[in-house]
Structure 1
């Protein structure tokens, strides 16, 4: 009975966790705009700006190797607070150091940001079933994605204005404050922590972590294919991240920022709509999201991004962006909820491997799309790269439908 009361308390406190996560995500989206531009202004080199982005991605990838072992050995709350405080400290240093002396510090900030964000997300995603209960994990994921979508709109929308009015240093201080407040918020929340199992394999922690995740994936082939689809989806998504500013300047040369704002705001609203749909579905008897719906949502999302680059504007753009955001948000929530069905002792390792896969897909996609855009139109690049995601999702969908048909035939014969 005490455990049940404790669990109910965790569910009540989860809204505070979502609020803190939304706040830090707002600061993170401020930095998506500010750090890249600041790196270019400080170094005066597109090469160094690219290296800065690469260091952040590589740091996140390497952290994925160890994150599963870290989550299994240390309390999640402590790891998440450490990640927040480290990022806050790094940004405060960047705000204090004069721009003329900040070139070297930028790479340290990129490293801390890559490591900190990966650790925080692995801890949070893998811990949702423990925090809110396995039966509420879909609703918990939906609340987190809703918070992040709101942070995307607020952060991306206000970054330019804050930089113009108050400068980069103010942006860095604001972001540092959001991470600090997130850490203080975590400190007061009673998050569940299952005691770790003792390490008996004799392998290095990172190797044992990857081995555990690999065993889970090979035991569930559909989950392995879903992760592959998610990786290819990240590869394709890099094309619209890189290509949208170029496309906006072509389609709406007078006010390209207006085009970008319309798209991202409608996309984020679509994300929020998707989470409301998911929460309503999950609250009706605690139903699980069908695996097939993940594949369908990836197909719709990828086609939506392809359509955005066909030259549509105004109301058509907003409608397509809204639909794309709905599909994108649903795909993420259904995928996270599926991974969280794994046992607690394997979940951290699994999410660490997923973080590595997503970072790899996004990083390779950034490099590929940047190279292709030198001699191809954004529309062509997005069509090819998101087309790969469509093909991968169709393969998954066919596999799932065949498995369901085989199961039905087996039930009929027995």
Structure 2
């Protein structure tokens, strides 16, 4: 793995950190293009907006079913093994999906079934990835590590979305899906080289149900945690409808196809990179207050689509929303990792991700019928309004407004040691690992 030395990462970046970052860059490079490719594969096979939503729902539904089991398993066996197995399964599913699309007209049920296989793999990958990142660096470098990791991830999303949109238009969606399959295979190989001795492993001897109950107690005991997860159960659902269904449909009908939508998606990625760079320099004391304020601009893309604004304006809206949501993403990761005990993080992360994606299958499946019932514009305005209203509501919780960064707090006096820092999180709030809902592994 000497080739990894070409990446000029800081001196604190361990071998495991470099491998994790490289694997995440590879998967996000392919996956951001594959999201566009999957939508246009359905449309090019004669599918409707409802069909696009059903395929998207098939990928997210297994997250709801299997996440808690994935969280318990990730706290019981070496997390790198779970991640490798998930990557291999995703590679196989995407390879078959690509072959079907390239060879002819795939059936809707085939595309939905393969998406469900990928979603199942992601359900096990997500909690395992949450428990990995912080273990690869010293605690004092955690904030820098989160930001460097996310900048690399988001840089890959930029290139993947722009290239994916262009390739879908030029050579068809099947080949973009094939590239994604290859990316998962490469990521599995990189993660196979992780040094298991550097990875925490819990072997408590407790049953899985008991461990899940312990994770639930950790989750519900923190109002800032469950209130933001409840907020994002709706915010993520709304953005999923926009990203997976409404955006591709409007691009296909009004903007000129996959290319312009890929440019807009890439602008979102550019915004996230700049948001990450901003968070390298800006260290707000009230970390969750700053992050939650950054969720308001998430309403801009559906507004731009509802108004059928030209591609440059939509691109600007995506850029601003990407920048602001990255501020939230870094803030959320820092809050999780300084407040949650390391040995319980994968289970807490499973509840985090489960809550955050619980409504996304319904949103994806219902997006088409909703637009048919109230009109595309009405559906998009509804997405924007719910995002703004729920973000305002969560700011009413004092714990959200007052939670501060650890370095902003007074030094602890005599007494027990503080809880150890925890480790990383889709999309927000479970958005730290960068391989979340749509790209969880």
Task: State the partner residue of 2:204.
Answer: 198
Task: State the partner residue of 1:82.
Answer: 85
Tell me by how many angstroms 1:34 deviates.
2.7
Paired residues for 1:201-240 under 5 Å? 202=207, 205=208, 207-240=209-242
Tell me if structure 1 keeps the 8 A contact 2:150–2:273: yes
1:45-98 superposed Cα distances (whole Å, 9 cap, x missing partner): 877655433322212221212111110111111111111112222333445565
Write 1 or 2 for the structure with the bigger share of helix. 1
1:284-323 superposed Cα distances (whole Å, 9 cap, x missing partner): xxx7661111221112332564356445436544443322
Aligned length: 389
Tell me if structure 1 keeps the 8 A contact 2:301–2:314: no
Q: Measure, in 1, the Cα distance between the counterparts of 2:170 and 2:303.
A: 35
TM-score (norm 2): 0.77
Tell me by how many angstroms 1:182 deviates.
0.9
Task: State the partner residue of 2:420.
Answer: none
Q: Measure, in 2, the Cα distance between the counterparts of 1:226 and 1:314.
A: 32
Task: State the partner residue of 2:152.
Answer: 147
Tell me if structure 1 keeps the 8 A contact 2:63–2:119: yes
Which ranges in structure 2 are unaligned for 5 or more consecutive residues?
1-10, 404-441
* 2:31 pairs with one of 14, 28, 41: 28
In the alignment, does 2:72 pair up with 1:60?
no
Task: State the partner residue of 2:299.
Answer: 302
TM-score (norm 1): 0.81
Paired residues for 1:2-401 under 5 Å? 11=14, 13-39=16-42, 50-95=53-98, 99=104, 106-163=111-168, 166-190=171-195, 192-200=198-206, 202=207, 205=208, 207-241=209-243, 242-248=245-251, 253=254, 255=256, 257=258, 259-281=260-282, 290-303=287-300, 305-306=302-303, 309-313=306-310, 316-341=313-338, 342-400=340-398
Between 317-326 and 94-103, the greater mean CA deviation after superposition: 94-103
SS of 1:195's equivalent? coil
Residues 299, 166 of structure 1: CA spacing in aligned structure 2 closer, same or farther, 3 A cutoff?
A: closer
Residues 259, 30 of structure 1: CA spacing in aligned structure 2 closer, same or farther, 3 A cutoff?
A: closer
Residues 100, 294 of structure 1: CA spacing in aligned structure 2 closer, same or farther, 3 A cutoff?
A: closer
Q: Measure, in 1, the Cα distance between the counterparts of 2:200 and 2:136.
A: 10
Residues 209, 56 of structure 1: CA spacing in aligned structure 2 closer, same or farther, 3 A cutoff?
A: farther
Considering only CA atoms, is the larger Rg found in Structure 1 or Structure 2? 1
Tell me if structure 1 keeps the 8 A contact 2:56–2:365: no
Tell me if structure 2 keeps the 8 A contact 1:125–1:336: no
Between 116-125 and 55-64, the greater mean CA deviation after superposition: 116-125
Tell me by how many angstroms 1:15 deviates.
3.2
